[in-house]
């Protein structure tokens, strides 16, 4: 008589449970790091968008053929789209000239960060034909982070600690 062999193809229940347990442990260990990378990417996107707006304003202000004279102002980037008038406002004309507005004159740049800051504001003044910029953000987790990062700082500001010797 011929013995029938059991079908040895596939995995046993114990092997599957071990693999699922290992995957769960990896998920618990790696998920927080992944979320930090995602948030860092969002913050970087905000900084790049703000830099793009600043560059558009600077280029338009330097253009001798610009139709709108540079004036002081500000723009706040939040979670909603903004409709800008490109014919009689400096910021609208500059962003339209840079191609940042769509056909309906809407700026679709939005705040991406969910933890580092809320809405951020770019403010400029005109001084002898050049633009001077200041940056601020609402509800920063560390005050001055957005401004310092826009000005080129690679680390976040810290609150100075008192000198223990005094």
Residue-range domain boundaries for the chain: 14-150
- How many CB atoms are closer than 10 A to CB 81? 12
pLDDT band at 160 (very low <50, low <70, confident <90, very high): very low
pLDDT for the residue 161:
46
Note the pLDDT tens digit of each residue in 29-58: 999 999 999 999 999 999 999 999 999 999
Rounded Cα distance, 95 and 57, in Å: 7
Burial class (CB in 10 A: 0-12, 13-18, 19+), 126: middle
In degrees rounded to 5, what are phi and psi of residue 134? -130, 155
> Six-digit token pair at 68?
């709108």
């Amino acid at each position: 008589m011929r013995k029938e062999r059991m079908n040895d193809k596939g995995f046993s229940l114990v092997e599957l449970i071990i693999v699922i347990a290992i995957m769960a442990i990896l998920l618990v260990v790696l998920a927080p790091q992944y979320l930090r990378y995602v948030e860092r990417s969002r913050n970087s996107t905000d900084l790049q968008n703000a830099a793009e707006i600043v560059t558009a304003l600077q280029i338009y202000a330097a253009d001798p053929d610009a139709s709108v004279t540079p004036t002081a102002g500000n723009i706040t980037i939040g979670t909603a789209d903004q409709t800008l008038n490109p014919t009689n406002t400096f910021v609208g004309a500059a962003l339209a000239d840079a191609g940042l507005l769509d056909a309906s004159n809407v700026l679709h740049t939005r705040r991406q960060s969910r933890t580092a800051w809320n809405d951020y504001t770019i403010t400029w003044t005109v001084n002898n034909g050049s633009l001077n910029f200041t940056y601020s953000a609402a509800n920063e987790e560390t005050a001055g982070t957005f401004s310092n990062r826009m000005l080129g700082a690679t680390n976040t500001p810290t609150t100075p600690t008192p000198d223990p010797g005094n």
